[in-house]
Amino acid sequence: MARTLDAIARDIRADWKKPYFGAVPYLQAMIGLQSIDDKFGFDDARGIVLYFLSNATTWRGEKAKAIKAELKGLLNGKA
């Protein structure tokens, strides 16, 4: 069973101490989401996750790699 987006976002915040400013609003939005099919205001979770990934290129390390792969799996329906 896939983890919820808010659980993933909490893990990101715990690991990425100083997130890139462009990723922050998408990370905050992910905290308010459960699944990849949810909506946050007028935005869908898929778009939020895509924009987060686009702005998270400076987040590196094993944890970052694993979580980015998990998010990509959710986007591709493999989770």
Quickly count: other Cβ atoms within 10 Å of residue 46's Cβ: 14
pLDDT tens column, 33-77: 999 999 988 999 999 999 999 999 999 999 999 999 999 999 998
Mark 60-69 as b/e (b = at least 16 C-beta within 10 Å): eeeebeebbe
Beta bridge partners of 21: none
Predicted TM-score of the model (pTM): 0.92
DSSP-assigned letter for residue 20:
-
* pLDDT tops 90 at residue 79: no
Tokens of 37: 């099919």
